[in-house]
Amino acid sequence: MPTPRVLVLRAPGANCDQETAFAFERAGATAECVHVNRWLESPRLADGYQVLCLPGGFSYGDDLGSGRILGNQLRRHLSDSLGTFREQGKLILGICNGFQILVKSGLLDTDDSAGPGATLAWNASGRFIDRWVQLRVASDRSPFLRGIQRMFLPIAHAEGRFVGRDEPTLERWERSGQLVLRYCESSACKSQPFNPNGAMRDVAGMCDASGRVLGLMPHPERFIDRTQHPQWTRLPAFDEGDGMQVFRNAVEYFA
C-alpha cells in the first residue's frame, strides 16, 4: 500500500497539530506540520501531499471569530492551490477550529448566491465546553467515516454550534447526505445534554458534495489509544480509541 503524505497546517494559535500528525503517522501515513507562511510563500507546496488537515486550536487567537483569519487567508491567497488539490481527488480534514476554518474559507461549499449557508456560532450555553460526547455517523458520504457507525470522542470549543441559514438549505444538505455526523444519546453521558452546544439537527460534522472534504467539531486525534478514555481502567479491554479509524480510513483511501 502506498504511504500517503499529510500536510498538517499550522498557524499562530494552533495547538493540536502535533497530536494530529502523530495520529496520521500511527495510521500509516507520513505527516508534516507546515506553517501557513511556508505555503503562502510557495503556493505549489501542497502538490506533494495527498491529505490536508486543519487541526484544532485557536488560530490567530480567534481574535475576529473562530477560524475567520486563517479561513480568509486560504480563500484570498490559496484558493487556486486548494482548488487544484481538491480536483486531484485528494482529502481535506478540518477538526474543531479546522472545521470553523473550512466553513469560513468556503472549502465546504456552503456559500451560494444568497451568501453563507452555515456557520459555527457560540454554544447555546454561551460558555466554553470541554467534555465527551456520543456520535453517530448519519451518512456514508465521506471516506473518512467509512465503516464507522458510532464514536465516543471529546469536544473542546466555545463556537461549535452548527447553524444553517434556513430549513430549505439544511434539507438540501440532508438529502445529499452531507450532514454526516450527529450528536446522539449515550448511557455514558446521561447527566448532560447529548447535544452539547445546541447545534441544529444535532450536527457535529459536515462534508462537501464529494465527501472528500470533512469538518467535525469533536477531536478524533484525542482518542486513538484506550488509555485516553476517561474510564479506561473500568472498561473491558479494547485495542484502540474510536478516533483511530478516521485516520486509518484516510490512509486506506489511497491504497
Separation between Cα atoms, residue 155 and residue 128, nearest integer Å: 10
pTM: 0.96
Q: What pLDDT does residue 188 have?
A: 67
Domain boundaries, the chain: 5-252
Catalytic residue among 157, 159, 207, 219: 219
Closest CA to 193 of 203, 183, 182: 183
Q: Is 53 among the catalytic positions?
A: no
Give the HSE-up count for residue 218: Cα atoms under 13 Å, Cβ half-sphere.
32
pLDDT, tens digit, 9 for 90 and up, residues 32-67? 999 999 999 999 999 999 999 999 999 999 988 899
User: Contact, 101 vs 74, CB < 8 A?
Assistant: yes
pLDDT at position 113 over 90: no
Fold category of 5-252 in CATH: Rossmann fold (3.40.50)
Annotated catalytic residue within 96, 157, 159, 207: 96
Half-sphere exposure of 158 (CA within 13 A, CB side): 10
**Catalytic entry in 53, 157, 221, 229:** 221
Q: Is 207 a catalytic residue?
A: no
Residues 158-215 pLDDT 10s: 999 999 999 999 999 999 999 999 999 987 667 789 999 999 999 999 999 999 999 9
Whether the CB-CB separation of 144 and 126 falls below 8 Å is answered with no
The residue among 179, 196, 17, 18 whose CA lies nearest residue 110 is 179
- Is 96 noted as a catalytic residue in this protein? yes
Burial of 30 (0-12, 13-18, 19+ CB in 10 A): middle
Start-to-end C-alpha separation, the chain? 5
